[in-house]
Amino acid sequence: MHLLIVLLGILLLVALISWGKVNAFLAFLVVAIVTGLSLDIPFGSITKSVYKGIGDTLGQLSIVIVLGAMLGKIVAESGAAQRIATTMMNVFGEKYIQWALMVTGFIIGIPLFYNVGFVLMVPLIFSVVYKYKLPAVYIGVPMLASLSVTHGFLPPHPAPAALVGQFHANMGKTLLYGITIAIPAIILAGPVFAKTLKKVASSPLEGLVAAEKPESQLPGMVTSLLSSLLPVIMLMVTTVLPLVFDLPPNIKAIVDFFGDPSIILLLAIGVATYTLGIDCGMSIKKVMKTYEDAVKDVALILLIVAGAGALKEVFSESGVSKEIAAVLQEWPIHPLVLGWLMAAIIRVCLGSATVAGLTAAGIILPLMTRMHVDPNLMVLSVGAGSLMFSHVNDSGFWLFKEYFNLSIKDTIRSWSLMETIVSVVGLIGVLLLNLLVH
């Protein structure tokens, strides 16, 4: 009976968000309370579970998401993203222009949140389309595949960062594994798949061609790259050092401190404030205003993550999580595949990758603990599932359709299939990594 209540609760969540158009945070709260009452949690304990779930989920994560948003915003506002894109285009040349856009999307996608990256990079794609007279979808898909993969696979993006916290994974290892899986996923869903899209007709508006900053106002390439990728570099170094060297306890404690994602991002913000802000002629007041705007951009994401934490805690408090784990343990499906499948189903129903990943995590967590699955790989498996087949209930679908001026049929043919390839290749990569690391 409890399992039926959970299923009905998830269906209610789908109905409220998809059909009722209810704000995702409100929908999570309503479903958490209704499910808690249905699972016979005492009245006085339901609100306590909701508060605990929100608090436990947002703890460290709120710092990571907010600082990550600030870094992405300053990378965009300073022109560092434009500098990286321009340099990549010059290095790769017209013949390998898709690969240039793909690599640019990957580098820029690490610090930038998906919607920001999309709006920032699509005008660049159109500039290339008009300059070289090439098909827009064929040119654009590789870069957007990169942005999508970084959004779904790599911390400090909200969903992967939240999953790292829920599964008690190591953010550095997850990032290393994620990059390993991301590279083949981007290549197959990007340049390889895009070869089939040359005949997809698209007529993007000329008004969306990028209004670029003058060359003299852009930061240097080295500054742009180091400022954008500093968190990735620090996470990798602090993760690899203890694995390669037998560090004394006092040195390991220092490495662990500087390997904490919050400390890394805070240091990165400090560096970027000077290199991409003050040193580029911005006043400190303007830099801080940029950071304030970044926080506004992610406020709703934080609330959605908090709501998912509340629902997860209700499942845990009622004991139904253990029941679900016991039932799922009997299924002849590998837990990593199961995590991917749950996230994929919720994604197709709801449209939101973040909601899909966090909802699936709350269900799969007890099973993962019992079966000793690598938590870093489970983060990536659920993250890959959360990108599965974006369609008409996903805002990303409509962004792509409207910007590229496509029919729904052609949007599904290009965008939806690209997302599906990313998701499936991601799962295959996770399973192969599981064989290698165990």
Predicted confidence band at 250 (pLDDT cuts at 50, 70, 90)? very high
Question: For residue 343, what are its two tokens?
Answer: 């996230």
| H helices, E strands: number in the chain | 21, 0
Identify the CA nearest to 185 among candidates 160, 139, 159, 149. 149
**Domains of the chain, residue spans:** 61-310+318-437
With H, G, I as helix, E, B as strand and everything else as coil, classify residue 416.
Answer: helix
Give the Cβ contact number of residue 131 at 10 Å: 12
Question: For residue 237, what are its two tokens?
Answer: 């170094």
pLDDT at 160: 92
DSSP 43-86: HHHHHHHHHHHHHHHHHHHHHHHHHHHHHHHHHHHTTHHHHHHH
Per-residue pLDDT, averaged over 369-389, amounts to 91
Question: Rounded to an integer, what distance in angstroms lies between the CA atom of residue 283 and that of residue 72?
Answer: 18
Predicted confidence band at 206 (pLDDT cuts at 50, 70, 90)? low
Locus of tokens 């960062």: 161
Question: Rounded to an integer, what distance in angstroms lies between the CA atom of residue 203 and that of residue 93?
Answer: 24
Locus of tokens 């968190």: 231
Question: Rounded to an integer, what distance in angstroms lies between the CA atom of residue 15 and that of residue 192?
Answer: 37
Question: Rounded to an integer, what distance in angstroms lies between the CA atom of residue 25 and that of residue 77?
Answer: 29
Per-residue pLDDT, averaged over 69-76, amounts to 86
**Residue 197 pLDDT exceeds 80:** yes
pLDDT at 1: 67
Which range, of 61-70, 221-230, 416-425, averages the lowest pLDDT? 61-70
Predicted confidence band at 374 (pLDDT cuts at 50, 70, 90)? very high
Identify the CA nearest to 146 among candidates 429, 430, 418. 418
Question: Rounded to an integer, what distance in angstroms lies between the CA atom of residue 15 and that of residue 387?
Answer: 20
- Please give the backbone phi and psi of residue 387, each rounded to the nearest 5 degrees, phi first: -100, 0
∠ Cα 224 229 230 (to 5°): 100
Question: For residue 147, what are its two tokens?
Answer: 């942005």
261-279 pLDDT per residue, tens: 889 989 999 999 999 999 9
Question: Rounded to an integer, what distance in angstroms lies between the CA atom of residue 224 and that of residue 49?
Answer: 44
pLDDT at 205: 61
16-27 pLDDT per residue, tens: 887 888 888 898
Question: For residue 363, what are its two tokens?
Answer: 């269900």
pLDDT at 142: 95
131-179 pLDDT per residue, tens: 788 899 999 999 999 999 998 998 878 889 889 988 999 999 999 999 9
User: Which of 63-72, 210-219, 226-235, 382-391 shows the highest mean pLDDT?
Assistant: 382-391
pLDDT at 326: 67
CB 235 within 8 A of CB 175: yes
Question: Rounded to an integer, what distance in angstroms lies between the CA atom of residue 333 and that of residue 312?
Answer: 23
CB 404 within 8 A of CB 202: yes
Helices (H), 110-187: 114-132, 136-153, 158-166, 171-187
Per-residue pLDDT, averaged over 18-42, amounts to 88
Question: Rounded to an integer, what distance in angstroms lies between the CA atom of residue 353 and that of residue 367?
Answer: 22
CB 431 within 8 A of CB 338: no
Helices (H), 351-393: 353-371, 375-385
Q: What is the pTM of this model?
A: 0.78
Which range, of 1-5, 54-58, 174-178, 285-289, averages the lowest pLDDT? 1-5
CB 145 within 8 A of CB 189: yes
pLDDT at 377: 96
Per-residue pLDDT, averaged over 61-82, amounts to 86
